[in-house]
């Protein structure tokens, strides 16, 4: 059953920005409200009145996001993130999802999960994948991160081990949302899918970057705490092999969460930089062909 979509012009609209309130009602008793802003420049490029463009935009935003969870508070359409026509823009929503169209204020909250530096790298990878492969680098993180619950800024150093582990879990979730490649029954999971993809398209030149992400996944296995240890047949507890291997890989130190986070996020960002470099060359090559 399709939701009912109601669109209302917002009184705060100005000549430069046209704001609409969208209400998505149903199926069932679901009732969500969000806003959509269109700049005067983008509607001029589309050669449409803002009210003419809104039904298609609202439909595809609702379709892309789904009605099983709350919507982000606001979306934004401008020439930098939209197509040259309304149809081109709708196609972008269909192919890339909603993330490129989140309102800048909402994207700012998004940065709180990963820090501005990491967010910028992820967005660059999204742009490259959209240009070269018509799909985002990451599937939407909405199901993992609520924009209104950015309780900790990952650009800040953790003061204790619990906050360090929380940050590791966020990085692990990002890895779980990689969208490139197709997993196999023998090698399930998004990281294995990406590894297969980069072997086929890049000749394993991103093997080191994949290893960094595998080590993040291993390190994540100490959270919750009860997964931190393995129990031998004689009942003796010991650190899980996954945790020991990953801790050694990142050169972590007992009782130094700030240092440990620096080690992990530096390697993670380095892996993203390597991905950007390789994908820039691949996309340039594909576009030149």
pTM of the model: 0.60
Whether the pLDDT of residue 287 is over 80: the answer is: no
pLDDT in tens, 14-69: 667 898 999 999 888 889 988 899 988 899 999 999 999 999 999 999 998 888 88
User: Mean per-residue pLDDT for 95-116?
Assistant: 67
pLDDT at 228 over 70: no
Structure confidence at residue 215 as a pLDDT band (50, 70, 90): very high
Higher pLDDT, 108 or 265: 265
Residues 174-214 pLDDT 10s: 898 898 887 777 677 789 999 999 999 999 999 999 999 99
pLDDT per residue as tens digits for the range 231-256? 444 554 445 678 889 999 999 999 99
| Residue pLDDT, tens place only, 107-160 | 555 545 566 678 778 878 888 887 788 777 887 665 555 443 333 456 667 888
Model pLDDT, residue 149: 39
What does 155-188 look like in DSSP terms, one character per residue? TSPPSSHHHHHHHHHHHHHHHHTB-SS---SSS-
Cα–Cα separations (whole angstroms), residue 227 to 25, 57, 222, 235, 236: 42, 45, 5, 15, 15
Q: What is the pLDDT of residue 237?
A: 46
Report the distance separating Cα 210 and Cα 203, nearest Å.
13
Please report which helix (H) or strand (E) contains residue 197, including its range.
Answer: helix 190-202
Contact status, residue 288 vs residue 222, Cβ threshold 8 Å:
no
Helices 86-96 and 116-133 sit at what angle, rounded to 10 degrees? 110
Q: What is the pLDDT of residue 229?
A: 47
Q: Tell me, what's the pLDDT at 114?
A: 60
Kind of pairing between the strands at 74-77 and 31-39: parallel
């Amino acid at each position: 059953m399709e939701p009912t979509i109601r669109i209302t012009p917002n009184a705060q609209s100005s000549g430069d920005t046209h704001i609409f309130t969208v209400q998505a009602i149903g199926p069932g008793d679901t009732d969500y409200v969000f806003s959509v802003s269109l700049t005067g420049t983008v509607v001029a490029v589309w050669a449409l009145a803002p009210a003419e463009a809104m039904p298609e935009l609202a439909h595809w935003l609702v379709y892309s996001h789904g009605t099983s969870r709350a919507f982000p508070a606001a979306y934004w359409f401008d020439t930098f993130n939209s197509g040259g026509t309304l149809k081109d823009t709708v196609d972008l929503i269909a192919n890339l999802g909603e993330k490129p169209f989140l309102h800048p204020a909402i994207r700012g909250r998004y940065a709180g999960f990963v820090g501005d530096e990491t967010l910028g790298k992820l967005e660059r990878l999204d742009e490259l994948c959209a240009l070269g492969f018509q799909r985002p680098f990451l599937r939407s993180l909405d199901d993992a991160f609520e924009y209104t619950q950015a309780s900790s800024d990952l650009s800040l150093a953790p003061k204790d081990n619990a906050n360090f582990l929380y940050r590791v879990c966020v990085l692990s979730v990002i890895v779980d949302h990689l969208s490139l490649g197709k997993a196999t029954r023998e090698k399930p999971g998004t990281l294995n899918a990406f590894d297969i993809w980069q072997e086929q398209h890049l000749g394993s030149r991103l093997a080191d970057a994949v290893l960094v992400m595998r080590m993040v996944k291993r390190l994540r296995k100490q959270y919750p705490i009860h997964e931190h240890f393995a129990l031998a047949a004689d009942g003796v507890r010991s650190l899980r092999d996954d945790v020991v291997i990953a801790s050694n890989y990142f050169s972590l130190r007992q009782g130094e969460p700030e240092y440990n986070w620096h080690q992990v996020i530096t390697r993670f960002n380095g892996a993203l930089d390597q991905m950007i470099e390789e994908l820039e060359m691949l996309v340039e090559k594909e576009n030149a062909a």
